[in-house]
Amino acid sequence: MTEENRPVDPAGAVAGEEPTQAPPSGEAPASGADDSAALQDAVEGASDETGGTGDPDVDTELEDLGAMKDSLAALTDDLQRLSAEYANYRKRVDRDRDLIRENAAYQALTPVIEVLDTIDRAREAGEVEGGFKSVADQLERAVATAGLVKFAEPGEPFDPTRHDALSHLGQDPEVEVTTIKVVAKSGYAIGERVVRAAQVLVVDPVEGE
């Protein structure tokens, strides 16, 4: 029988080869899907190990963003520190300004106190009247405006930081603490600073009560 007259193999198989079996109906070849899944697992594994995304460009942007956040935090700390230093500087300037003003008032007003003492004695004697009264009142208002404050009145508790006790006049059952009875000379202060302590006579409470 010639080659031309030889029957053709229905499966198209070549002599000596096993015929290829087609996959069962309804099943797709699994080789491509398996390779894709394996590749995805490898990428995710590498991302987990390195802490990156697997994309060099994205990783670079994330690193730049982290550096920017660190720089912003450092700048914020510097700004807060500078703000606190400036606030402290302003406080020192204000405190120094107040101290300079107080010292200037102290130097200018201290000599006036003797004049005010003379006015007080004249007022007690009933000699402050007419034009002298007008001048005396004006002077007292001026020094008060400048910050010189007069203090010490009979009946006030004795304060050794502000009062100078010239004498103790004995005990008084009507007082519970050492109390000013007579003001010999008024005290004067500028702010919290005592320019001159008040000179006073005091009474003490009765012992045992």
pLDDT the model gives residue 117:
93
Q: What DSSP assignment string belongs to 61-85?
A: HHHHHHHHHHHHHHHHHHHHHHHHH
Range(s) of the domain holding residue 170: 148-209
Provide the CATH number for the domain around residue 161. 2.30.22.10
Q: How far apart are the first and last CA of the chain?
A: 153
Burial class (CB in 10 A: 0-12, 13-18, 19+), 52: middle
Nearest 5°: the CA angle 197, 103, 185 is 20
Q: Is residue 11 assigned to a domain?
A: no
Q: Is residue 167 assigned to a domain?
A: yes
Q: Is residue 95 assigned to a domain?
A: no
Q: Is residue 109 assigned to a domain?
A: no
Number of separate domains in the chain: 1
Q: Is residue 193 assigned to a domain?
A: yes
Which pLDDT tens digit goes with each residue over 165-202? 999 999 999 999 999 999 999 999 998 889 999 999 99
Which pLDDT tens digit goes with each residue over 140-170? 999 999 889 999 999 999 999 999 999 999 9
Q: Is residue 39 assigned to a domain?
A: no
Q: Is residue 84 assigned to a domain?
A: no
Q: Is residue 132 assigned to a domain?
A: no
pLDDT the model gives residue 36:
54
Which pLDDT tens digit goes with each residue over 105-139? 888 888 999 999 999 999 988 988 888 899 999 99
Predicted confidence (pLDDT) at residue 100 exceeds the cutoff of 70: yes
